[in-house]
Structure 1
Amino acid sequence: MKAPWHYLLWTPPQLEPKAERNLAAMTRSKGWIWAVLLFWGLPDGISGVALGKASLFIAYNYTGILAGVAAWVSVRFGSDPGWIAVSAVVGLGWLATVAWGTAKYVGWLASILGRWPPMGRA
């Protein structure tokens, strides 16, 4: 499992030029949405392990899932409003880390795409 704040801790990996070029080509062919979903723990394709996609998504995003379940349980069973507020604050904090980490990732990906133009144009 990843740390709950792993989106904030994410730093761009040091890739070799050939790996950067391949990543740029894959992103151009599969699209930006594919790259962002992969960053969020939602790979495409068929997993060889039962529930492989779900387990990867849970390992990346369990903090948000637990905050959502806690908020739902608190509202559903009429818990104290303080617990609802706590789960809402945790969930919103987690969403802020996801937004920040995704912005860093998209910026890094845009810089790679800028360095490696499509093969026909260079």
Structure 2
Amino acid sequence: MALVVRLFGHCRQAFYQSKVDIAKEVEHERKIIEAVREIRGEDPGIDGYKLWVMLIVLFGRDFVPGRDRFFEILRRRGLMLPPPKARHTTNSNHRFHKWKNVAKGFVPTAANQL
């Protein structure tokens, strides 16, 4: 192990410390996911940004990762909501008038007749 670690320019302690750091990060992420699932249990339609703000209020800024990292965690676990569908409605109260088709039935016999 010492030879492999030396090849990468680190000491053995750095290798084992990185394993401990990864374990802490996984545990921290698990706590965040549990909190998200609990909140989503009460309100399933709440979006990611509101979740992020709620967790900051509940646990403090030091516990919750940044917004983009938080979204990445949610995406990886499949907890992001699908994007909302665009809603289009017809606006019948506009200033553009619908004119009668005066060329209906007209058959031009030469250029520039219509």
Give the TM-score, by structure 2 length.
0.27
Larger Rg: 2
